[in-house]
Structure 1
Amino acid sequence: MAGAPSPEQPIAVSLGDPAGVGPELIAAAWAAREEQGLAPFFAVGGAEVLRAAAASRRIDLPVVLIDSPAQAPAAFGTALPVLGSLDGAYRPGKPDEDGARLALASLSQAARLTVAGEAGAIVTGPIAKSHLAKVGFTQPGQTEFVADASGVAHSDAVMMLAGPNLRTVPLTVHCALSEVFARITHDLILRRTRVVAAALARDFGLERPRIAITGLNPHAGEDGRMGREEIEIIAPAIAALRAEGLDVSGPRPADALFAAHERKGYDVALCMYHDQALIPIKTLDFDAGVNVTLGLPIVRTSPDHGTAFGIAGQNIASPGAMIAALRMAGECAARRAGALAS
């Protein structure tokens, strides 16, 4: 059972793959902590990796080793707190199994600390799942990993992508497009929408969130001419959700839903498949997009981008999404602790 976060608890940050941009963005976020008003956070392992990554961006990064998360807030103002002795070599753009082991160990410990209530939230650095799979990572992604650590079924851990301009939720996530039609069910729409509504109220202060649900087919099926999923599955689910008192609209044609004038009419768009949700958020908010997991007893966020091995260590990657993930994690944790007004 996860411990209840308090406003004083720091955020645990996992390194991500040390060959990617995660370490340098953690360093850049710490350097911008005052300007961005970030809550205290600490990195789990990788002190030397972080120092080297900071140097690649010409950041003077003082690091202080801590023995427990409770020591992080006092140190945060003058140095980046790093928990423990986990470490490795910094080889940007050259992922290997040693780096994958460090990434997995950092993620595992950060999750354990957050579930135990020693950290107020977890922010996960970007990983390369194919590399982690070689060292024992069995989950489809970090969302499922953190769900397992929290004792939550994968089906109840819901991925939301959030940025300044848009929030989206993919109903189906990491599966082949050919599998999407079979996976979309009346029950799945009900369960995911309920999780989204409850989480937006609890963590984002939206008492009655407006949820737009897309269609699956072009033009939302156009009255059955382009598919019957809207008629037979999606519309009945929406009617059931409305009967429960949720503010749900749809099925909405996905090709028009993300225009600026349409976005004013809803708080989140529940989309039928991965790219239907991620293309608009990455188009509108690539450098400020946050991946947040809804439905957990803990707060988990992550920058909505990958390891970017091709630009790691070159002082090119923007820290905007990492900063946004840290800010959102702090705000959600504070709201759960009752320290942030809606």
Structure 2
Amino acid sequence: MTDIRPIIGITMGDPAGVGAEIIVKSFESDQLHTQCRALVFGDAVRLREACEIVGSTQKVRAISDPGEATFERGVIDCVDLKVIGAGVEFGHVQSICGEAAFRYVERAAKAALAGEIGAICTAPLNKEALHKAGHMFPGHTELLAHLCGVDEVSMMLTAPGLRVIHVTVHIGLIDAINKIEPGLVFRTLERAQVTLNKIGIAQPRIAVCGINPHAGENGLFGNREEETKLVPAVEKAQAMGWDVSGPLPADTLFFRAIRGDFDIVVAMYHDQGHCPVKVLGIESGVNITVGLPVIRTSVDHGTAFDIAGTGRADERSLQEALRQAAELASKV
């Protein structure tokens, strides 16, 4: 019988963080094996150390290519990049760990583009370590866009009852406001429309956040950014028959979205979109990169250096990211 479960490649993230621990814990779950066939792009030596830390009896099987994976219960198949050795210290920024995190993602992207895996699910990396290794990307989103040869992507966060897609992400607030323009806003709306269509929402209800308090209050706040930067994009989308509302005041919009009035919120900058999602619970949040030629989901938390190596890391965000990766891969 043909196994229809999608193959998901999990990148191990920064070896000094909690990535290996939450991966090992997730592989213990019956749910993971029901939803997909998972393998890891990382360092087998670190996964074995993580098994000892969390008290797992699972075996780590080092392989050189995704095609060698057997997906046996109790065995973690790892495409072993051999970047680090045993005993790398947890909880500290290290250039070797930044290099490792980069190499894991690079290899997973190559496999996804070649059709060897159906989706990528990423454990967290550390941006400072990435930069110390000479890879000057603000984060996974921009790194994957580069590796896939894509000029522009969007970050979409999900939490129970809420989806948020960002117009800008990893830039300062003043720079974000300067960068926002009707073309960028419209392309973000388009990525939201297409993505929700793919997961089965035929006519998604899309709400657009204002930039200023109260969405500018008809010009009372700001420099009419809503009228010049957002309204043209909203009107263009509406003319195409899309169900787009806004710009709307962010302070009430997220309440309305969680209540069920909208399927997705378009946030203008990082904290405007991230804060509501993380208030709902980091353990259940998922980050999805929209606009890539491959599927990529991720945990919605960082490397947690403060607890790395203790076995206390919560794997629920990774489990949800894997579930959504499997769901998206099954529908493409």
**Take 1:52 and 1:197, find their aligned partners in 2: how far apart are those partners?**
43
Query: 1-side partners of 2:11 and 2:102: how far apart?
Result: 9
- Aligned counterpart, 1:161: 157
Please tell me whether residue 21 in structure 1 is matched to residue 18 in structure 2. Answer: yes
Secondary structure in structure 2 of the residue aligned to 1:256: helix
Partner residue, 1:88: 85
| Residue 271 (structure 1) shift | 0.8
Counterparts of 1:202-241 in structure 2, within 5 Å, are 202=198, 204-227=199-222, 228-241=224-237
Tell me how far apart the structure 1 counterparts of residues 331 and 260 of structure 2 sit (CA, whole Å): 24
Contact 1:88 1:98 in 2 (8 A): no
Which of the residues 119, 143, 163 maps onto 1:145? 143
Question: Is the contact between residue 10 and residue 70 of structure 1 (CA under 8 Å) also seen in structure 2?
Answer: no
CA RMSD of aligned residues (A): 1.8
The alignment partner of 2:116 has SS state of coil
Question: Match for residue 320 of structure 2?
Answer: 324
User: SS of the residue aligned with 1:259?
Assistant: helix
Deviation digits for residues 79-104 of structure 1 (CA, Å, limit 9, x no counterpart):
11111352433422133222222222
In the alignment, residue 219 of structure 2 is paired with which amino acid? G
Residue pair 2:9, 2:117 contacting (<8 A) in 1 also: yes
How far did 1:124 drift? 1.4
Partners of 1:160 and 1:170 within 8 A in 2 = yes
TM-score by length of 1: 0.91
Please give the per-residue CA displacement for 1:92-130, whole angstroms capped at 9, x wherever unaligned.
213322222222211111111111111111111111111
1:61 Cα shift? 2.3
1:42–1:69 CA contact under 8 A, matched in 2: yes
- 1:71 to 1:8, Cα distance in 2 relative to 1, 3 A: farther
Partner Cα distance (1:81, 1:141) in 2 = 26
Quote the residue 2:54 is aligned against.
57
Aligned to 1:253: 249
Q: Secondary structure at the match of 2:250?
A: coil
Give the SS at the match of 1:75. Answer: coil
Comparing 239-248 with 87-96, greater Cα deviation is found at 87-96
Deviations for 1:211-256, whole angstroms, at most 9, x for unmatched residues?
1101011111111111211122212321111001111011111001
Q: 2:107 aligns with which of 98, 109, 112?
A: 109
CA contact (8 A) 2:81 2:103 kept: no
Q: Out of 179-188 and 273-282, give the one that drifted further.
A: 179-188
Q: Is the 8 A contact 1:18 1:95 kept in 2?
A: no
TM-score (norm 2): 0.93
CA distance in 2, matches of 1:180, 1:65: 43
After TM superposition, give the deviation of residue 140 of structure 1 in Å: 2.1
Distance 1:315 1:101 in 2: 24
Letter in 1 for 2:238: R
Gaps of 5+ in 1: 1-5, 337-342
Label 1:102 to 1:244 Cα distance change in 2 as closer, same or farther (>3 A): same
Give, in angstroms, the shift of residue 9 of structure 1.
4.5
2:121 matches 1:123: yes
CA distance in structure 2 between the partners assigned to 1:172 and 1:32 by the alignment: 35
Q: Distance in 1 between matches of 2:317 and 2:250?
A: 25
Choose the corresponding residue for 2:279, options 283, 301, 308. Answer: 283
CA distance in 2, matches of 1:297, 1:80: 27
Return closer, same or farther for 1:264/1:9 CA change in 2, 3 Å cut-off. closer
Alignment partners' CA distance in 2, 1:240 and 1:263? 27
Q: Distance in 2 between matches of 1:144 and 1:329?
A: 19
Q: SS where residue 152 of structure 1 aligns?
A: coil
Give the Å deviation of 1:7.
4.1
Distance in 1, matches of 2:129 and 2:326, equals: 30
Gaps of 5+ in 2: none
For residues 297 and 245 of structure 2, the distance between their equivalents in structure 1, rounded to whole angstroms, comes to 27
| Aligned sequence identity (%) | 38
Q: Give the C-alpha shift of residue 261 in structure 1.
A: 6.8
